[in-house]
Amino acid sequence: RQSMSRRGNCWDNAPMERVFRSLKSEWIPSTGYLTGQQAQRDISQYLMNHYNWIRPHQFNDGLAPAKAEEKLKTVSGMS
C-alpha cells in the first residue's frame, strides 16, 4: 500500500517504497517463510549484502550504493 503526503508536502516515502518493492519482487519467496527467524536472516542478507553491495542501481550509474559511496569518498579525499 503506497503512502501519500498532503498536497504541497515534499516528504515522500518513494525511496523506501522502492527498496521494499525490490525486496518483495526479487528476494522473498512466493511461499513465504516458515519462521520469523528465517525471514529476519534472509531479509538482512538481502539488505546488507545484496542490495547495498551487489545490486546495481540506475541512479548510481550501475553501481551498488555502498560502492558508489566508496567511490565518492575516494574522489572527495574523505576517508
Question: pLDDT digits over 9-35, tens only?
Answer: 656 677 778 888 888 888 899 899 999
User: H or E segment at 40?
Assistant: helix 36-45
Is the model's pLDDT at 1 over the cut of 60? no
Grid look-up 516458515 returns 34
Q: Where in the chain does DSSP place strands (E)?
A: none
HSE of 57 in the Cβ direction (CA atoms, 13 Å)? 17
User: Which one, of 59, 43, 11, 47, lies nearest residue 3 by Cα?
Assistant: 11
Query: What pTM was estimated for this model as a whole?
Result: 0.60
Question: pLDDT digits over 35-73, tens only?
Answer: 999 999 999 998 888 888 888 888 888 888 888 888 888
Is residue 31 within 8 Å of 18, Cβ to Cβ? no
